[in-house]
């Protein structure tokens, strides 16, 4: 009588570890772990071909010009002053412009707006920051300007969030963030807006 159970030799699995090691090393080499990050911006919608005159009319007190020339130098202009600027002062300048804390006549006009959660607000939502570049402007200078603009808006929004809700902007709920964004909308234009009123 043959044995019911013939002792089967176990499959030699000692090399499985080596195989999986090789797979692991392959994946380590072909993949990258770096998380991509960057400055998120939104482009304006393409111009409507049917609409000939797409330029908007904006009062000159509502515009802050930031020009970057081919050498990467800044030129900042609004109703209060115009002249060569510095990357370090840009943020403070933008904050002052967008906030217009003392309702000065040379800074953007303020009007009453009803915002959910915040109630009646006195906001400068008609302001425009116009960024103009030359074809020869170095990309880094443009990027730093964009970075400073976003930083200025983020600081303003943070201040408002702390004042109204007692928390930083990133910790607010979606609705609260929406309200703060309505209070300080990002109006950065890269086209040349037509202006009227005021000098120049």
Q: Which residues bind other proteins (CB under 8 A)?
A: 13-14, 16-17, 19-21, 23-24, 27-28, 30-33, 35-46, 68, 133-140, 142-144, 146-147, 150-151, 154, 190
CB of 178 to other proteins, least distance (A): 17
Nearer to other proteins, 138 or 178 (CB): 138
Q: Cα 90 vs. chain centroid, distance in angstroms?
A: 15
Partners of 84 in the beta sheet?
75
Nearer to other proteins, 85 or 107 (CB): 85
User: Which residues lie below 8 Å from residue 176, measured CB to CB, with a gap of 6+?
Assistant: 117, 161, 165
CA distance 192 to 44: 13
Nearer to other proteins, 45 or 114 (CB): 45
Burial category of 41 from C-beta neighbours within 10 Å (exposed 0-12, middle 13-18, buried 19 and up): exposed
Nearer to other proteins, 23 or 104 (CB): 23
**Is beta strand 63-68 parallel, antiparallel or unpaired with respect to 74-77?**
antiparallel
CA distance 109 to 198: 13
Nearer to other proteins, 20 or 82 (CB): 20
Nearer to other proteins, 27 or 196 (CB): 27
CB of 20 to other proteins, least distance (A): 4
CB of 176 to other proteins, least distance (A): 19
CB of 136 to other proteins, least distance (A): 5
CB of 62 to other proteins, least distance (A): 24
CA distance 151 to 141: 15
Of residues 82, 44, 41, 78, the one with CA closest to residue 58? 78
Give the CA count within 13 Å in the CB-facing half-sphere of 159.
12
């Amino acid at each position: 009588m043959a044995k019911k159970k013939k002792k089967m030799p176990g499959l030699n699995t000692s090399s499985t570890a080596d195989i999986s090691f090789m797979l692991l090393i392959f994946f380590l080499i072909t993949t990258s772990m770096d998380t991509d990050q960057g400055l998120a911006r939104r482009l304006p919608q393409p111009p409507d071909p049917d609409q000939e005159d797409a330029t908007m009319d904006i009062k000159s007190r509502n515009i802050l010009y930031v020009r970057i020339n081919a050498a990467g130098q800044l030129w900042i202009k609004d109703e209060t002053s115009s002249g060569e600027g510095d990357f370090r002062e840009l943020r403070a300048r933008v904050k002052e412009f967008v906030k217009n804390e003392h309702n000065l006549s040379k800074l953007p006009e303020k009007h009453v707006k009803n915002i959910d959660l915040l109630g009646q607000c006195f906001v400068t939502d008609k302001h425009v920051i116009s960024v103009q570049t030359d074809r020869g402007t170095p990309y880094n200078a443009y990027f730093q300007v964009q970075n400073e603009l976003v930083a200025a808006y983020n600081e303003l929004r943070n201040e408002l969030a702390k004042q109204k809700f007692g928390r930083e902007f990133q910790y607010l709920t979606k609705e609260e963030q929406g309200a703060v964004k309505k209070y300080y909308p990002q109006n950065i234009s890269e086209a040349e807006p037509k202006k009227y009123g005021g000098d120049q």
